[in-house]
């Protein structure tokens, strides 16, 4: 049996559903094929079940891509405010948690229900348990094989996301399909992912559960948020953010006392010469972390007995503590994927392939990756609208 549509969208995730709704509401006959038993599974687990659906400050600077300009057009044409208006029109209550991050007050299911309602308004057909296994392109028409059924359309949208969290069924299907059509793929790697420590740094694994407000830096990208020590190494928002910029072999530097003005240890020596580095660190950080840092720096004497040079060196060490992660926790724990279908292959206005008319790619499948904090969903919505309005 062959079904004919104007557009077939592969993947009923954030981007696929949004794109389908827009195209359907413009009168297009749209089919969405989803391999899972229900749509929007990543939305459901996102933001700890409350879906951090956008970020008030989302702009091109919050995204990684081989072409940092690519995301500008779509992000400018569908803004966080546009998505908030949609959420509000469904009466979904939300709040700003921190740093412009907007979360649902209730369960993330509300966002999935909203997207499905938008799809229903456009008479979109969402078919679950339909894993796409083959796509053929002949005489300008795409034929898609999914779970034994074939559907055809003039337009095909790749919205199958990235390989982060394979346990949930995530795959790199988008990349194989893109390559089949001759599109380049920027090497995918795990991002927003905990980093692991080995060697001498296993010491820090002993303080699993301890966190601290830090500035973490990898490859010149710095993030002022919390770092968390884990039984495998480093996590917490500051480290997850930095991990997107980190590559194997790179150091990650951590400023453990970002609020302290330069020279604070010399000031402390004058004001409180009987204090020790350890006692001062214990005032600012969790005891177990303070003890490890003080021990590693090795300045055991009272400040009054320490040379200014030694204190300056200790301060510098605390400002630029250098970790040498021996790896990351990989796609199994990565919240997103950096890399993907090269933006050089796509129109930034419509997300259509420059080489294959009628072929589109949106969402996480594309080489545009947001920071932690609602930016990835904003890209999913914005890229989906760009394509959905052009199909
Ligand atoms: P998405 O992965 O959502 O959807 C792709 C769909 O395609 C899936 O439903 C998949 O089953 C389907 N598919 C794959 N292969 C297929 C095939 N061969 N045939 C048919 N269907 C196929 N972001 C954010 O902004 N705020 C947040 O709070 C969070 N929180 C969060 C938590 C966790 C644990 C994770 C793992 C991720 C987040 N994210 C996030 C990231 C966010 O979930 C992600 O960027 C978007 O879901 C990407 O949307 P897409 O639609 O591109 O892919």
What is the model's pLDDT at position 57? 97
Does 136 share its domain with 206?
no
Task: Measure 384 CA to ligand 1 centroid, in angstroms.
Answer: 13
- CA gap 113, 194 in Å, rounded: 31
Task: Measure 379 CA to ligand 1 centroid, in angstroms.
Answer: 12
Nearest-CA residue for ligand 1 atom 43 is 42
Do residues 32 and 125 make contact, with C-beta atoms less than 8 angstroms apart? Answer: yes
Tell me, using a 6 A CB cutoff, whether residue 50 lines ligand 1: no
- CA gap 312, 318 in Å, rounded: 10
Closest atom of ligand 1 to CA, residue 162 = 2
* Alpha-helix runs per DSSP H in 285-345: 287-297, 308-319
Does 184 share its domain with 247?
no
Greatest alpha-carbon pair distance for the chain in Å reads 86
Closest atom of ligand 1 to CA, residue 169 = 11
Task: Measure 160 CA to ligand 1 centroid, in angstroms.
Answer: 8
Q: Please tell me whether the overall predicted TM-score, pTM, comes out greater than 0.85 for this model.
A: yes
Give the Å distances, CA to CA, from 134 to 149, 155, 378: 11, 15, 29
Q: Which strands sit side by side in the sheet containing 52-55, from one edge to the other?
A: 52-55, 101-104, 94-96
Question: Which domain, by its residues, includes 304?
Answer: 195-328
For the segment 340-361, what is each residue's pLDDT rounded down to a tens digit?
999 999 999 999 999 999 999 9
Task: Measure 374 CA to ligand 1 centroid, in angstroms.
Answer: 13
Does 130 share its domain with 65?
yes
Nearest-CA residue for ligand 1 atom 9 is 13
Does 204 share its domain with 134?
no
The full DSSP string for 124-176 is -EEE-S--EEEEEEETTEEEEEETTEEEEEEEEEE----SS-GGGT---HHHH
- Of 280, 308, 328, the residue that ends a domain is 328
Does 158 share its domain with 233?
no
| 176 φ, ψ (degrees, to nearest 5) | -60, -40
Tell me, using a 6 A CB cutoff, whether residue 194 lines ligand 1: no
Does 106 share its domain with 180?
yes
- CA gap 295, 186 in Å, rounded: 43
Taking alpha carbons only, the member of 367, 296, 327, 353 closest to residue 137 is 353
What is the model's pLDDT at position 90? 98
Give the Å distances, CA to CA, from 125 to 112, 116, 117, 128, 384: 15, 10, 12, 10, 17
- Of 310, 328, 346, the residue that ends a domain is 328
Task: Measure 164 CA to ligand 1 centroid, in angstroms.
Answer: 8
Does 377 share its domain with 283?
no
Take residue 342 and report the two structure tokens written for it: 């090269």
Do residues 80 and 58 make contact, with C-beta atoms less than 8 angstroms apart? Answer: yes
Closest atom of ligand 1 to CA, residue 374 = 25
Q: How many domains does the chain have?
A: 2
The pLDDT averaged over each successive group of 10 residues in the chain (391 residues) is 88 98 98 98 97 98 98 98 98 96 98 98 98 96 96 98 92 97 98 97 95 98 98 98 97 97 97 97 97 96 96 97 98 97 98 98 98 98 98 98
Does 306 share its domain with 322?
yes
Does 367 share its domain with 304?
no
What is the model's pLDDT at position 168? 87
Does 14 share its domain with 93?
yes
Tell me, using a 6 A CB cutoff, whether residue 55 lines ligand 1: no
3-state secondary structure of 45: helix
Angle between helices 277-284 and 287-297 (to 10 degrees): 150
What is the model's pLDDT at position 3? 87
Tell me, using a 6 A CB cutoff, whether residue 131 lines ligand 1: yes
Domain of 133, CATH number, reads: 3.50.50.60
Tell me, using a 6 A CB cutoff, whether residue 183 lines ligand 1: no
- DSSP run (H or E) holding 119: helix 109-121
Closest atom of ligand 1 to CA, residue 365 = 52
What is the model's pLDDT at position 2? 63
Does 126 share its domain with 201?
no
């Amino acid at each position: 049996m062959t079904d004919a549509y104007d557009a077939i969208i592969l993947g009923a995730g954030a981007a696929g559903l949004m794109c389908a709704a827009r195209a359907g509401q413009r009168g297009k006959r749209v089919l969405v094929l989803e391999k899972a038993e229900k749509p929007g599974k990543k939305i459901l687990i996102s933001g700890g079940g409350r879906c951090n659906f956008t970020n008030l400050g989302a702009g091109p600077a919050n995204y990684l891509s081989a072409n940092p300009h690519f995301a500008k057009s779509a992000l400018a044409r569908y803004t966080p405010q546009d998505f908030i208006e949609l959420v509000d029109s469904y009466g979904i209550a939300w709040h700003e948690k921190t740093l412009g991050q907007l979360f649902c007050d209730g369960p993330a299911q509300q966002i999935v229900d909203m997207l499905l309602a938008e799809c229903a308004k456009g008479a979109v057909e969402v078919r679950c348990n339909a894993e796409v296994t083959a796509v053929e392109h002949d005489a300008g028409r795409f034929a898609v094989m999914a779970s034994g059924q074939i559907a055809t359309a003039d337009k095909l949208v790749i919205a199958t996301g990235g390989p982060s969290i394979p346990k949930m069924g995530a795959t790199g299907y988008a990349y194989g399909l893109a390559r089949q059509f001759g599109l380049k793929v920027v090497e995918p790697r795990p991002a927003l992912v905990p980093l692991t420590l080995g060697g001498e740094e296993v010491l820090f694994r002993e303080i699993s559960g301890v966190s601290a407000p830090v500035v973490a830096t990898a490859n010149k990208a710095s993030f002022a948020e919390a770092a968390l020590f884990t039984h495998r190494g480093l996590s917490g928002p500051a480290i997850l953010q930095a991990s997107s910029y980190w590559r194997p072999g790179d150091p990650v530097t951590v400023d453990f006392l970002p609020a302290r003005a330069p020279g604070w240890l010399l000031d402390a020596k004058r004001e409180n010469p009987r204090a020790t580095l350890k006692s001062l660190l214990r005032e600012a950080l969790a005891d177990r972390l303070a003890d490890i840092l003080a021990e590693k720096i090795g300045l055991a004497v009272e400040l009054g007995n320490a040379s200014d040079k030694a204190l300056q060196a200790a301060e510098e060490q605390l400002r630029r503590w250098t970790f040498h992660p021996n790896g990351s926790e990989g796609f199994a724990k990565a919240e997103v994927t950096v890399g993907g279908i090269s933006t050089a292959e796509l129109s930034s206005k419509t997300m259509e392939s420059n080489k294959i008319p009628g072929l589109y790619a949106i969402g996480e499948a594309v080489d545009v990756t947001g920071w932690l904090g609602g930016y990835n969903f904003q890209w999913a919505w914005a890229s989906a609208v760009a394509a959905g309005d052009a199909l």
